[in-house]
Amino acid sequence: MLKLPSRKAYQLFPQCFASECAAHPSSSNAKPLETLPYVEFIKKKYPDKLQLMNKQVEELNSQRIECKNNSKVLNFFKDLNSFILNKSSVELLPVGSMVTKFVNKQSDFDFVFFPKHEEQRHRFLRDFHQNPSFKQNFMSVFAKLIARESEKLGEPVEKVVELPRMRVPLLIVRYSSGLSIDIQFPEANYHALRNTHLMRMYKLCDNRFTLLFLWLRAICDKLEVRNSKYGLLSSYHLLLLVVHFLQSEQALSPWPVLPVLAKTYSNLVTPDIPIAKIAELTKSEDPRLNSDFSWKSHNKMEVSELIIRFVDYYSHFNPGKEAIYIEKGMALKRKQVFGDVRLQLIDPYSPVSVCRSPHASSAFFAAIQFMRKQFKSGQMLSSLPDVPEAAVFLRENHFASWRTQMSDKIIL
């Protein structure tokens, strides 16, 4: 007959019995890896690769800091601004990565043409946007002025492209050195200024916003799904996708990483802030209107886990049935559409989606599904900066409509 250990034996050798139980857990408590939810499966199976992923993302951030401190480029833009414009009445205001500091070696530099005085600004906007002849002549003269003064500053211009018929008229200046600047002539809402301010405010909330965006941009570049001039995703689209994921309890419950700024700090990002004040804030080191702003998330996930959850979340997102509202901090049902589905990304400053091309949506979700499969097999988790797996994605999508349509366009 089998004798059970006495109570005294348990008391004398508790450590022995504890280690024996740990070495041979009961089948009722141990779950096979394959039965775990997707995120837990990745965390359990590839912990070393996730730690390496954290380090690689931090390296992207170090490169960003190095690029943002490029004083030569910054001084050139400062000198150009003072040479071509009367600074008391008008200026070229930097927007996008120049202000948010989400720069890398491939970054273009974006500006908006901004008359400082309100009455003068209204008059210029009226003449510019309602008189096509004035618009064309103004852009041509301005382009020649930039080329002439850039030459004097030691930066010869290689090519200037004028695009007066775009929804937001654009002047693209390419320099022989490889430097490139885009100058926008927006309407009165100055959308680019407001969304730049919004992204700076989100960046102040939590450093993981920066890290997740840097990873996503690097991967999308390797998969060739980010290029707004080809009708694909822009950096701003990626930023909004990251903001939605990090602030929504639909994605991260119960503790999101970011607040819904339009709800919790509406006075700091409201569309009612005068555009002159927003322009002033984009030039300041601190974009906060007051010192009361502070945020600390209860979410303690490392960026590697957030990356896995980001891919998992968007792999289940249906752009034909859901629309993302940054101002509300959630995705809501939309009227179901078929055929060419456009990703509905609604920021606080526009009543319609900022993503207007169906190709951007197709490319993004193809990339998401590819990454999800790669992650499960342990690939792409720690393959930066080269990402050799991208060759497989490009081969699989060689004849996808979002790629073939690019061959019909001329990159500027």
Within this chain, do residues 87 and 233 fall inside the same structural domain, yes or no?
no
The last residue of one of the domains, among 184, 216, 241, is 184
Within this chain, do residues 276 and 308 fall inside the same structural domain, yes or no?
yes
9 has a pLDDT exceeding 70: no
Q: Is residue 267 part of a domain?
A: yes
Within this chain, do residues 180 and 202 fall inside the same structural domain, yes or no?
no
* pLDDT tens-digit series, residues 198-253: 999 999 999 999 999 999 999 999 999 999 888 999 999 999 999 999 999 999 98
The last residue of one of the domains, among 184, 206, 233, is 184
**Contact present, 247 and 329 (Cβ < 8 Å):** yes
How far is C-alpha 356 from the chain's CA centre? 16
The rounded percent of the chain whose pLDDT value lies above 70 is 89
Question: Domain containing 159: what range?
Answer: 71-184
Residue given tokens 């300041």 in the structure block = 284
Within this chain, do residues 167 and 214 fall inside the same structural domain, yes or no?
no
Tokens representing residue 50 in the block: 């996730």
412 has a pLDDT exceeding 80: no
Within this chain, do residues 224 and 293 fall inside the same structural domain, yes or no?
yes
Tell me the pLDDT band of 294, cut-offs 50, 70 and 90.
Answer: confident
Q: How far apart are CA 376 and CA 39, in angstroms?
A: 9
Q: Is residue 253 part of a domain?
A: yes
**SS3 assignment, position 172:** strand
The predicted pLDDT at position 30 comes to 60
The predicted pLDDT at position 16 comes to 44
* pLDDT tens-digit series, residues 329-344: 999 998 767 777 889 9
Q: How far apart are CA 200 and CA 278, in angstroms?
A: 12
Within this chain, do residues 228 and 367 fall inside the same structural domain, yes or no?
yes
Within this chain, do residues 346 and 386 fall inside the same structural domain, yes or no?
yes
The predicted pLDDT at position 83 comes to 87
Q: How far apart are CA 24 and CA 325, in angstroms?
A: 50
Q: Is residue 365 part of a domain?
A: yes
Q: Tell me: cis bond preceding 287? Omega within 30 of 0 counts.
A: no
Residue range 291-313: mean pLDDT, rounded: 93
Within this chain, do residues 281 and 304 fall inside the same structural domain, yes or no?
yes
How far is C-alpha 81 from the chain's CA centre? 27
Within this chain, do residues 173 and 235 fall inside the same structural domain, yes or no?
no
Q: Is residue 44 part of a domain?
A: no
Q: Looking at per-residue confidence, does 362 or 73 come out higher?
A: 362
63 has a pLDDT exceeding 70: yes
Q: Is residue 23 part of a domain?
A: no
Q: Is residue 63 part of a domain?
A: no
Q: Is residue 323 part of a domain?
A: yes
**Contact present, 128 and 138 (Cβ < 8 Å):** yes
Instruction: Read off the CATH number of the domain in which 199 is found.
Output: 1.10.1410
* pLDDT tens-digit series, residues 12-40: 444 444 444 444 444 445 678 888 999 99
Q: Looking at per-residue confidence, does 14 or 160 come out higher?
A: 160
In 3-state terms the chain splits into helix, strand, coil percentages (rounded to 5) of 50, 10, 40
324 has a pLDDT exceeding 60: yes
Within this chain, do residues 247 and 332 fall inside the same structural domain, yes or no?
yes
* Torsion from C-alpha of 297, 103, 306, 381, nearest 10 degrees: -160
The last residue of one of the domains, among 160, 184, 208, is 184
Alpha-carbon dihedral sign for residues 85, 91, 97, 99: positive
The predicted pLDDT at position 290 comes to 65
Tell me the pLDDT band of 71, cut-offs 50, 70 and 90.
Answer: low
Q: How far apart are CA 80 and CA 237, in angstroms?
A: 29
The predicted pLDDT at position 335 comes to 79
Instruction: Read off the CATH number of the domain in which 172 is found.
Output: 3.30.460.10
Residue given tokens 């822009």 in the structure block = 234
The predicted pLDDT at position 14 comes to 47
Within this chain, do residues 202 and 178 fall inside the same structural domain, yes or no?
no
Tell me the pLDDT band of 72, cut-offs 50, 70 and 90.
Answer: confident
* pLDDT tens-digit series, residues 85-134: 887 899 999 999 989 989 887 778 899 999 999 999 999 999 999 999 99
- What total number of domains does the chain contain? 2
67 has a pLDDT exceeding 70: yes
Within this chain, do residues 345 and 219 fall inside the same structural domain, yes or no?
yes
The rounded percent of the chain whose pLDDT value lies above 90 is 69
Tokens representing residue 109 in the block: 């530099």
